[in-house]
Amino acid sequence: MKMFAVIVATICWGSFVLTAQESVVPSADPNAPEIKFESEVIDYGVIPYDSDGVREFKFKNVGKSPLTITNVQGECGCTATTIDGKPGWPQEPILPGKSGTIKVKYDTKRIGRFEKNVTVTSNSKYPVMKLKIKGEVKPKE
């Protein structure tokens, strides 16, 4: 009886874990826009306390139709995607073959090493992409 209960619990736990997995299925549309980043990681290196934390991810629409970025979200409050009260990504569609940038800002008043994700949502062939910023903020002098 105990073995039966263990087996049932294991199956229930396994099905819960498997359904909680996030999967990104590419668009079936062969003419879908496709976003291609110059780099999916920005390394700030070692930077001074309270320095300029704004960086840009450069991208190009390598697809066959206009690319629309609907949202860009930082992993936590230390990573902003709204710069000076405006979204840090293009609000207009990016035509095929054209380029754009996504601005992010790390709070450089947080001392120490950091590694944060930035999630980009769009109408691209892969609608959800994860970008990464990393570096280290030196202590205040």
Distance between CA 53 and CA 86 in Å, rounded?
16
Q: Which domains does the chain have, with CATH numbers?
A: 27-137 (2.60.40.10)
pLDDT of residue 27: 56
Question: 111, 49 in Cβ contact below 8 A?
Answer: yes
Instruction: List, for residues 6-55, the tens digit of each pLDDT value.
Output: 555 556 555 554 444 455 566 578 889 999 999 999 999 999 999 999 99
17-21, 57-61, 110-114, 116-120, range with the lowest pLDDT: 17-21
Burial class (CB in 10 A: 0-12, 13-18, 19+), 119: middle
pLDDT of residue 141: 82
